[in-house]
Chain A
Amino acid sequence: MTPLLTVLGVPLGAAMVLAFIANWRLAAWLNVVASAATFAAAAALFVADRPAPGNLLLVDDFNIYLIALTAFVALTTAIFSASYIAHEVERRRLTPRLLRFYHAMYQAFIGSMLMALSADNLGLMWVAVEAATLSTALMVSLYRTPAAIEAAWKYFILCGVGIALALFGTMLMYLAAQPALGEGMAAVTWSSLLSHAANFDPALLNVAFVFLLIGYGTKVGLAPLHAWLPDAHAEGPTPISAVLSGLLLNVALYAVLRFKMLLAANPQALAPGPLMIGMGLLSLSLAALMLYRRRDIKRLFAYSSIEHMGIAAFAFGMGGPLANFAGLLHMTMHSLVKAAIFFTVGHVSQVKGTQRIADITGLTASHPALGWSLVAGVIAIAGMPPFGVFTSEFLVVSSTFARQPLLALPVAVGLLVGFGALLLRLHHLAFGPPSANAAGSHAVPTLSLIPIWLHLALALVAGIYLPAPLVAWFQSVARLLG
């Protein structure tokens, strides 16, 4: 069995096994073990032979790093999830029956994301993104509260419409490719599309891209299609918020970028850049302003995810080696830091018994480990040195300034506005007199703090010194993206 098949097979197999395991403690550990096996297989991809392009699956420089990142965050989230759900069972918010379902769906979700990342066939990619939507919609409604059901319903309807439009876009893409590639599978296989894209009908290609951008863009959370995102993040279990923000948004953006590469290969097609720049800027500015009015801590960081996906979309829209490099780095850094923040926030809302920002103060005094982790995480996500997010945001702004000074202005303003909102909230959350703890809350186990520190340490290392092989790697992908 090749590493790639292992990467895809382990989560699916684990999902089936976990669906039958009634003991939730055992299931939580199996979940970790399966995620570790997936990550090991994903790491082995770097040394294994790559499959020949033109089949159902594809491994190239671009997706291999996202596969590894996805498997890594899935592993750390599984570790966090084990202690998170133990606490939820204690508080009787989740029953063992629901947890059986939760663990099976977690693995199914990870498996479908990895499938979407490694698909060479556009139909397969679409099915995988749809499967990821369905499994997360079910997990968002896990708590069965009215707000959770409403969030899941909204998520389902909006992303359902989005995914349907993406299918129409995929069909138009086939129609554009059919004269050059003939009928059948070749015309929906990404690698053969790329090599023949120059001969496609540019008008069809343009319209296809618009549908695909709107369709998959809904899942990226780009404004004005972001309405599902804050609700889904705030009402679901926190491990799901972490993988939604850290991984699913990346996968959807990855799908958009694959299609952008097809358009870039056709000289007559419309330049996809301005569309992505527009949506990215809108997301960034809107989310940065919305950050000020948030009263729910998970909702606050959900809006911050919209902001950061906006920055990444903007960077890819600018294009060119430097901006693409910045976009790739930003996707990676955002995944690591945002997942770490959601891990922290999950524990915070458990020890304080609330998600209301107004009711949480003085975390550094009452829970030093958690409080200072939150401080480090928010400083990192707000884009302050020495963390990696600073590097990527600095690259985005400076590369834009060199080419389009006028466009750099709204980006810089958006970043500053978001920065202010986050620091304002952080000051309230972390300092001052500590607020009361939830009844019966106890210390957070150190094991579940390790994923937080690991993520933040990686972001810190990336901010101080990016190893030369990694830089060369990102540069080669950035050139690939055009």
Chain B
Amino acid sequence: MTGLAFDIAHLLGALVLTLSFALLYQRRLTAAINVVAMQAAVLAAAAAWQAITRDSPHLFATAAIALIFKAIAVPLLLHWLIRRLNISSTVEPVFGVTLTMGLGVGITALAILLVLPLTAGETLLLREDLAFALAVALLGPLLMIARRNAVVQVVGFMSMENGLILAAVGVKGMPLVVEASVAFSVMVATFIFGVFFFHIRERFDSLDVSRLEEMQGERHS
């Protein structure tokens, strides 16, 4: 891999991670959805770049799925859902932005410290991609914990999947099965999330998950 090709791949990987951090401080639902859409678009570019430089055309399929489905279709669906259900557009974080960002930095450092020594025999690009991917995959759950809002939890889940696909395109010769299945799972998962929203909407006026917890099984009797 030439110097420039490596630099671009590296840049795209880092951008995916940066966008994960950008997700952590969004207070508006629509902004969070846009950020995760942007992350999916960058991921698509990263997959396409790998397809070109490594001459593995099946990665174009992964890129196309990420771009069409995750960067365009799902965000549009989520925006529509928010309008349709009149969901309030601001989200109160459970804990402050500073703390969330601090935890995020800690998680990223841990991911790098775990992956880099582990993969000493692999190429530099793969090692860094894997470290970034693990960080992104762990920042997703952090976002889901930090915001008790069903839409943000979907966004966190999607960003987690973005991280996993970044890892999958970085690993050389990973069979297509896995990529296709990830894309498939996202499709199904989002569909189901959508179904859930409707049922939540039928019963509650807000999508605030903490209100659901008032109904916890042990207490409702």
Q: Is the CB of A150 within 8 A of B196?
A: no
Q: Which residues of B contact A156 (CB under 8 A)?
A: 192-193, 196
Does chain A have a CB within 8 A of B36? no
Partner of A149, one of B114, B137, B173, B212: B212
Per a CB cutoff under 8 Å, which of B140, B196, B221 touches A141?
B196
**Which residues on the B side are within 8 Å of A126 (C-beta)?**
178, 181
Interface string of A196-211 (1 = CB under 8 A from B): 0000010110010000
B177 A188 Cβ-Cβ under 8 A = yes
A375 within 8 A of B: no
CA distance A178 to B174 in the complex (A): 9
* Residues of chain A within 8 A of B174, CB atoms compared: 171, 174
Instruction: Decide: B178 and A201 in contact? CB cutoff 8 A.
Output: no
Q: Does B171 interact with chain A (Cβ within 8 Å)?
A: yes
B164 interfacial by beta-carbon distance below 8 Å:
yes
CB contact under 8 A between A178 and B173, given known A164-B164, A170-B178: yes
Whole-angstrom distance between the Cβ of A155 and the nearest chain B Cβ: 11
The number of residues on chain B lying at the interface, defined by a beta carbon within 8 Å of a beta carbon of chain A, is: 52
Contact of A138 with B by CB under 8 A: yes
Which residues of chain A (177-191) have a CB below 8 Å from chain B?
178-179, 182-185, 188
Given A123-B175, A167-B164, A356-B221, decide whether A149 and B188 contact each other with a Cβ distance below 8 A.
no
Cβ of B181: which chain A residues have Cβ within 8 Å of it? 123, 126-127, 130
Chain B residues contacting A164 (CB-CB under 8 Å) are 137, 140, 157, 160-161, 164
Question: Is A82 in the interface zone, CB < 8 Å from B?
Answer: no
Q: Which residue of B lies closest to A203 (CB)?
A: B118
* A-side contacts of B196, CB under 8 Å: 141, 149, 152-153, 156
- B185–A127 CB distance below 8 A: yes
B55 within 8 A of A: no
B203 CB within 8 Å of chain A:
yes
Q: Is A137 in the interface zone, CB < 8 Å from B? A: yes
Residues in A neighbouring B94, C-beta threshold 8 A: none
In whole angstroms, what is the CA distance A279 to B173 when docked? Answer: 35
**Which of B114, B171, B185 has the largest number of chain A CB atoms within 10 A?**
B185
Q: Does B122 contact A (CB under 8 A)?
A: yes
The yes or no answer to A144 lying at the interface (CB within 8 A) is: yes
- Would B172 and A178 count as touching, CB distance under 8 A? yes
Partner of B150 from the list A124, A134, A153 (CB cut-off 8 Å) is A153
A134 / chain B contacts, CB cutoff of 8 Å: 188-189, 192
Interface residues of B in 153-178 (CB under 8 A from A): 153, 157, 160-161, 164, 167-168, 171-175, 177-178
CB pair B209–A153 under 8 Å, yes or no, is yes
Residue of A121, A153, A296 near B212 (CB, 8 A) is A153
In-complex Cβ contact of A299 among B173, B177, B193, B218 (8 A): B218
Please indicate the chain B residues that have their CB under 8 angstroms from the CB of A182 in the complex: 173
- Smallest Cβ-Cβ distance to A149: which chain B residue: B199
Question: Is B57 interfacial (CB 8 A cutoff)?
Answer: no
Main secondary structure of the interface of B (DSSP, over half): helix
Contact of B160 among A161, A295, A296 (CB under 8 A): A161
Q: In the complex where A161-B144, A171-B168, A175-B171 touch, is A147 in contact with B189 (Cβ < 8 A)?
A: no
Is A374 interfacial (CB 8 A cutoff)? no
- Contact check, B217 vs A175: say whether CB atoms are below 8 A apart: no
Instruction: Tell yes or no: B101 within 8 A of A by CB.
Output: no
Report the bound CA distance from A356 to B157 in whole Å: 35
Contact A138 B220, beta carbon cutoff 8 Å:
no
The one of A149, A185, A207 in contact with B175, judged by C-beta atoms closer than 8 angstroms, is A185
Chain A residues with Cβ below 8 Å from B118 are 203-204, 207
B182 within 8 A of A: yes
Closest Cβ–Cβ distance, residue A290 to chain B (whole Å): 11
Which residues in B have their C-beta under 8 angstroms from that of A230? 217
Contact indicator per residue, chain A 135-172, by CB within 8 Å of chain B (1) or not (0): 00110010010110111110011001100110110110
Q: CA–CA, A123 to B182, complex, Å?
A: 10
CB-CB nearest in chain A for B215: A146
Besides A127-B184, A168-B164, A185-B177, 18 other A-B contacts (C-beta < 8 A)? A121-B177, A130-B185, A137-B192, A138-B192, A144-B202, A150-B213, A151-B217, A153-B196, A153-B200, A160-B157, A161-B144, A161-B157, A164-B140, A167-B164, A167-B182, A171-B164, A175-B122, A178-B171
Residues of B within 8 A of A (CB): 114, 117-119, 121-122, 130, 133-134, 137, 140-141, 144, 150, 153, 157, 160-161, 164, 167-168, 171-175, 177-178, 181-182, 184-185, 188-189, 192-193, 195-196, 199-200, 202-204, 209, 212-213, 215-218, 220-221
A to B CB contacts below 8 Å, 23 in the list:
A121-B177, A123-B181, A127-B185, A141-B196, A141-B199, A144-B202, A146-B204, A147-B216, A147-B220, A149-B203, A150-B215, A150-B216, A161-B157, A164-B137, A164-B160, A168-B167, A171-B167, A175-B119, A175-B130, A178-B172, A182-B173, A185-B177, A296-B218
